[in-house]
Amino acid sequence: MDPAFADRYLNEGFSGGEKKRNEILQMAMLEPDLAILDETDSGLDIDALRLVAQGVNEVRSARPTMGTLVITHYQRLLDHLEPDVVHILVDGAIVASGGMELAEQVEHHGFTEWLRSAA
């Protein structure tokens, strides 16, 4: 982070990617027991997505006991974070659980009746 950012209000003048990277920095500094990342990939281009995912992975590596809940609608973030478990929610209920292969199925097939019928 550029030290000049300390002289500005929180996120003032930041791009979307800079805001997301700032959130990851805050996560690293605050050292939570559980980090909830809600649509962290929203509005990011592929380069910013990689940087943010790299930051999350670095924090997770430094703090292996920290729980991380990542909420996303797209597989592309999961490709960089390699989740331990994937849960699919429909109307607030978990309808399927599995590994990365589950996210790949949704990416390939979409939320078709095979998934909605489990709800």
Q: What's the Cα-to-Cα distance from 67 to each of 35, 43, 63, rounded to whole Å?
A: 6, 24, 9
The full set of domain ranges for the chain reads: 3-83, 85-119
Instruction: Pull the structure tokens for residue 15.
Output: 């791009």
What is residue 33's DSSP assignment? S
pLDDT (tens, 9 = 90+) of the chain, 119 residues, equals 677 767 877 777 778 888 888 889 899 999 999 999 999 998 888 998 999 999 999 999 999 999 999 999 888 999 999 899 999 888 888 988 999 999 888 888 877 666 666 55
**pTM assigned to the model:** 0.79
- The span from the CA of 5 to the CA of 84, in Å, is 35
For 89, the enclosing helix (H) or strand (E) is strand 86-90
CATH topology of domain 3-83: Rossmann fold (3.40.50)
CA distance 26 to 91: 31
The span from the first CA to the last CA of the chain, in angstroms, equals 44
CA distance 2 to 8: 11
What pLDDT is attached to residue 113?
Answer: 65
